[in-house]
Amino acid sequence: KQEVTQIPAALSVPEGENLVLNCSFTDSAIYNLQWFRQDPGKGLTSLLLIQSSQREQTSGRLNASLDKSSGRSTLYIAASQPGDSATYLCAVNNAGKSTFGDGTTLTVKP
């Protein structure tokens, strides 16, 4: 059974800091890994998708890495802004289904 763990559960940083969110998974037989953002009371917004054969993906200030052999992914956020405050979810995807971590709740203070 796939298990996904996200560390830390919560993180508070001052505006402008660079930060790293961590995701680990137990079964390396995956299609891809996806990072989502969820604002309170809202749905899931896809941020980055990394295929199992890829090592990293970048979008603007976000960079996600994947080390399938060790079962780890990181989401790097550069120059954090108050608008980045949200919960970030890591999802490990296979045919028909995703397994999610419990998320990291990020607060960026002005």
Partner 1 sequence: NAGVTQTPKFQVLKTGQSMTLQCAQDMNHEYMSWYRQDPGMGLRLIHYSVGAGITDQGEVPNGYNVSRSTTEDFPLRLLSAAPSQTSVYFCASSHGQLGYTFGSGTRLTVV
Residues that bind partner 1 (CB under 8 A): 4, 6, 31-32, 34, 36, 42-44, 46, 49, 51, 89, 91, 93, 95-103
Nearer to partner 1 among residue 76 and residue 100 (C-beta): 100
Nearer to partner 1 among residue 40 and residue 110 (C-beta): 40
- Work out how close the CB of 16 gets to partner 1 at its nearest, in angstroms, rounded to a whole number: 28
User: How is residue 67 written in tokens?
Assistant: 């080390």
Nearer to partner 1 among residue 74 and residue 94 (C-beta): 94
- 29, 32, 62, 81 from 95: Cα distances, Å: 11, 10, 26, 35
User: How is residue 50 written in tokens?
Assistant: 């990394």
Query: How many whole angstroms separate alpha carbon 84 and alpha carbon 98?
Result: 24
